[in-house]
Amino acid sequence: MVSYASQPFSSIDEVIARFAAHKYICNRRIATVVYLASSLQKPILVEGPAGVGKTELAKVLAATVQCELIRLQCYEGLDEAKALYEWEYAKQLLYTQILKDKINEVVGGARSLREAVERIAREDNVFFSDRFILPRPLLRAITADRPTVLLVDEIDKADPEFEAFLLEVLSDFQVSVPELGTLKAKHIPLVVLTSNNAREMSDALKRRCLHLYIDFPSAAQELEIVQLKVPEIHPQLAEELVHFIQRVRQLDLKKVPSISETLDWARALVLLNAEALEQQLVEDTLNAVLKYEGDIRKAQEELKDFLSRRKTERQGRETDADKDLLH
């Protein structure tokens, strides 16, 4: 019998609170989808630009509901053998070689070829048994004794054929292995699929999933994330950094800096004991955020603009302060 995992969340607010406890700041949209996925037993398809925390969402989800995370990383040419299960060919062969004598015994008394084959056939389930099957992530998620979180990462990298195959698994949560019969899930896993939009997913797959688009966070949210993940950062630096990154994202870049890159940069700056963005410092560390020479050049121009504007702002503030003193 299929036993559904007991509902891990009782409300949307609980999702937000429990994710926050695992240092993942999620807005109401994300929380709603997670809540729905857990209560409707549906997979989540997460789309969005690289590095906004799609994979992280699954990891945190697994940590929050205290389940094992089983990860299937997709790539071009991924096939069933790598995703579902494989017969351990070499092991089977090795066993037949070692057990040659035993097999001779079985076949021994046979008077005709037909009878020998008949006898071998009677024993063939020895070679196609659990012992020789090599479970891959999908099969592991389905046959696990405890509820699991299954992460199918970067599904857009896999081929359309694989997507179709995945559909079958996701809709019924059962797998048929011709030699063994149908294996049904003991627990329906929580499934998270992530996609970088390298390719439009098929409608059939989308239909079965809840859809979640995660975009770059707003300045306030990003600031919150930076402060949570890099707590030792100077508050002023954090604010300037986020402000600058948000502006850089508006530029026409080959690769827009993601949240993870913001965090990398924040950590780097903290290591260098920075308290505010300074020209030299930024120019030296900009390659933590931007990965193309052309992008870096553009960002440097933006930086000059940013710094000069900040300077005038500060001067303005100082003169204001002076005025206050004069009064």
Which residues would be at the binding site for another protein (CB under 8 A)?
A: 12, 28-29, 32-33, 35-36, 39-40, 42, 45, 47, 76-77, 89-90, 93-94, 97, 159-160, 197-200, 203, 206-213, 252, 254, 294
Looking at the DSSP bridge assignments, the partners of residue 86 are 134
Q: Nearer to another protein by C-beta: 45 or 277?
A: 45
Is residue 242 within 8 Å of residue 223, measured between CB atoms?
Answer: yes
Residue 53 Cβ vs another protein, minimum distance, rounded to whole Å: 16
Q: Are strands 210-213 and 148-153 parallel, antiparallel or unpaired?
A: unpaired
Residue 254 Cβ vs another protein, minimum distance, rounded to whole Å: 7
Residue 206 Cβ vs another protein, minimum distance, rounded to whole Å: 4
Nearest to 88 by CA among 142, 130, 141, 122: 130
Q: Nearer to another protein by C-beta: 192 or 266?
A: 192
Cα distance between residue 58 and residue 192, in whole Å: 6
Residue 296 Cβ vs another protein, minimum distance, rounded to whole Å: 13
Q: Where are the alpha helices (DSSP H) in the chain?
A: 12-21, 28-40, 54-64, 80-83, 89-98, 100-108, 113-123, 137-143, 160-172, 203-208, 219-229, 235-250, 259-271, 279-285, 293-326
Residue 67 Cβ vs another protein, minimum distance, rounded to whole Å: 20
For residue 32, how far is the Cα from the chain centroid?
18
Residue 214 Cβ vs another protein, minimum distance, rounded to whole Å: 10
E strand or H helix at 190, and its extent? strand 190-195
3-state secondary structure of 231: coil
